Structure 1
Amino acid sequence: MTTAEERKVIQQQFKEQMNEDELLNCMRCGFCLPACPTYVESGYKESHSPRGRIALMKAVVDGIIEPDEDVERSLNLCLGCRACEPVCPSGVNYGHLLEDARDIINQNKKHSFSVKTARNIAFNGLFPHQGRMQNLTGLLGFYQRSGLQSLARKSGVLNLLPPNLATMEKVLPTVPTRKEMKNRPQHLLAEGPVKKRVAFFSGCLMDTMFLDTNNATLKLLQLAGCEIVIPKEQACCGALHGHSGEKAKAKELAKRNIEAFESLEVDFIITNAGGCGGFLIDYDHLLKDDLSWKERAQAFKGKLKDISSILVELRFFEQQLELPYQVVTYQDSCHLRNVMRTFGEPRTLLKGIKGIEFREMKNADRCCGSAGIYNIVESDMSMQILDHKMENVEAVQAETIVTANPGCLLQMKLGIEREGVAHRMRAVHIVDLLIEAYEYTKQKSTVSL
Structure 2
Amino acid sequence: MTATKDIQQAFKERLDYDELMNCMRCGFCLPSCPTYGQTNQYEAASPRGRIALMKGVVDGLIEPDESVEKQLNLCLGCRACEPVCPSGVKYGHLLEEARDIIQQKKRHKWPVKALRHMVFEQLFPHKERLKNVHSLLAFYQRSGLQKAVQKTNILNALPGNLAQMEKTLPPVPTKKEMKKRPFLFEAEGTRERTVAFFTGCLMDTMFMETNNATIVLLQKAGCKVVIPEVQTCCGALHAHGGEKDQAKKLAKQNIMAFESIQADDIVLNAGGCGALLVEYDHLLKEEQEWKERAAAFSAKVKDFSEILLQQQFVEKQKLSLPSQIITYQDSCHLRNVMKTSSAPRKLIQAINGTVFNEMENADHCCGSAGIYNLTEQEMSMQILDYKMEKVKETHAHTIVTANPGCLIQMKLGVVREGVEESVRAVHLADLLLEAVESK
Match of 1:268 in 2: 265
Structure 2 CA distance, aligned partners of 1:260 and 1:28?
42
Take 1:205 and 1:401, find their aligned partners in 2: how far apart are those partners? 20
Structure 1 residue corresponding to 2:419, chosen from 421, 436, 444:
421
SS of the equivalent of 2:203 reads coil
- Answering whether residue 92 of structure 2 is matched by residue 95 of structure 1, we say yes
Aligned pairs for 1:313-328 within 5 A? 313-318=310-315, 319-328=317-326
Cα distance between partner residues in 1 of 2:70 and 2:53:
11
Q: What is residue 234 of structure 2 aligned with on the other side?
A: 237
Partner of 2:307: 310
Give the 5 Å matches for 1:118-129.
118-129=115-126
Percentage identity across paired residues of the two chains: 64
Cross-structure match for 1:108: 105
Asked if 1:12 corresponds to 2:9, the answer is yes
CA-based RMSD of the aligned residues comes to 0.7
SS of residue in 1 equivalent to 2:363: coil
Output aligned runs, 1:427-442, within 5 Å: 427-441=425-439
Aligned partner letter, 1:357:
V
Is the contact between residue 317 and residue 348 of structure 1 (CA under 8 Å) also seen in structure 2? no
The residue that corresponds to 2:156 in the other structure is: 159
Measured against aligned partners, the alpha-carbon deviations of 1:7-45 in whole angstroms (never above 9, x if no partner) come to 000000100111101111111111000000000111100
Structure 1 residue 205 and structure 2 residue 199: aligned? no
In 1, distance between residues paired with 2:396 and 2:39?
Answer: 28
* Partner-residue secondary structure (3-state), 2:2: helix
Cα distance in 2 for residues equivalent to 1:111 and 1:212 = 38
The equivalent of 1:144 in structure 2 is 141
TM superposition score normalised by structure 1: 0.97
Give 1:154 shift.
1.1
- Name the counterpart of 1:404: 402
Q: Deviations over 1:260-319 (max 9, x none)?
A: 001211110001000000111111111011022111110001101100000011111222
Distance 1:191 1:401 in 2: 29
Name stretches of at least 5 consecutive residues in structure 1 with no aligned partner: 442-449
SS at match of 2:103: helix
1:38 aligns with 2:38: no
Report if the CA contact (8 A) 1:402-1:427 is conserved: yes
Aligned to 1:284: 281
TM-score (norm. length: structure 2): 0.99
Deviates most, 154-163 or 289-298: 154-163
Q: Which residue of 2 aligns with 1:340?
A: 338
Matched, 1:358 2:352: no
Q: Distance in 2 between matches of 1:317 and 1:187?
A: 24
Aligned equivalents of 1:147 and 1:192: distance in 2? 42
Q: Which residue of the partner structure matches residue 445 of structure 1?
A: none
In structure 1, distance between residues paired with 2:180 and 2:130: 15
How many residues matched? 438
Partner Cα distance (2:107, 2:417) in 1: 40
Q: Which residue of structure 1 lines up, in the alignment, with residue 379 of structure 2?
A: 381
Q: In 1, distance between residues paired with 2:9 and 2:428?
A: 46
In the alignment, the residues of structure 1 paired with residue 409 and residue 314 of structure 2 have an alpha-carbon distance, to the nearest angstrom, of 27
Distance (whole Å) between structure 2 residues aligned to residue 187 and residue 161 of structure 1: 42
CA contact under 8 A between 2:160 and 2:377: conserved in structure 1? no
User: Aligned equivalents of 2:19 and 2:255: distance in 1?
Assistant: 27
Deviations, residues 121-168 of structure 1 (Å, cap 9, x unaligned) = 110110000000000000000111112111111112111102410000
Give the structure 1 partner of residue 73 of structure 2.
76
Q: 2:59 matched to which residue of 1?
A: 62
Counterpart residue type for residue 186 of structure 1: F
Amino acid of the residue matched to residue 277 of structure 1? G
**Distance in 1, Cα, partners of 2:356 & 2:13:** 50
Residues 217, 433 of structure 2: 8 Å contact kept:
yes
State the shift of 1:396 in Å. 0.8
> Partners in 1 of 2:111 and 2:324 — Cα distance?
47
Counterpart contact for 2:398–2:426, Cα < 8 Å: yes
What is the CA deviation profile of residues 334-385 of structure 1, one whole-angstrom value per residue up to 9, with x for unaligned ones?
A: 0000000000000000000100100001000000000000000000000000
Q: Distance in 2 between matches of 1:7 and 1:377?
A: 23
Distance 1:93 1:260 in 2: 29
Task: Give the corresponding residue for 2:165.
Answer: 168
Task: Find the counterpart in structure 1 of residue 296 from structure 2.
Answer: 299
Shift of 1:185: 1.3
In 2, distance between residues paired with 1:159 and 1:383? 17
What letter is aligned with 1:389? Answer: K
Q: Distance in 2 between matches of 1:67 and 1:228?
A: 48
Q: Which runs of 4+ in 1 moved over 3 A?
A: none
Partner Cα distance (1:114, 1:440) in 2? 51
Q: Is the 8 A contact 1:10 1:67 kept in 2?
A: yes
Equivalent residues of 1:141, 1:175 under 8 A apart: yes
Structure 2 distance, partners of 1:265, 1:374, is 37
CA distance in 2, matches of 1:183, 1:25: 51
Q: Match for residue 49 of structure 1?
A: 46
The DSSP-based 3-state class of the residue aligned with 2:26 is coil
Q: Report the counterpart of residue 331 of structure 1 in structure 2.
A: 329
Q: What residue identity is the alignment partner of 1:429?
A: H
Cα deviations by residue, 1:174-222 (Å, 9 ceiling, x for unpaired):
1001101111211110000011011000011111000000000000000
User: Is 1:135 aligned with 2:132?
Assistant: yes
SS in 2 for 1:67: coil
Q: 2 CA distance for matches of 1:437 and 1:229?
A: 24
How much has 1:228 moved relative to structure 2?
1.0
The structural deviation recorded for 1:109 is 0.7
Q: Give the Cα–Cα distance (whole angstroms) in 2 for the partners of residues 156 and 405 of structure 1.
A: 30
Distance 1:308 1:69 in 2: 41
Q: Report the Cα offset of residue 230 of structure 1.
A: 0.4
Q: Does the residue aligned with 1:346 lie in a helix, a strand or coil?
A: helix
- In 2, distance between residues paired with 1:317 and 1:38? 38
Q: Does 1:183 align with 2:159?
A: no
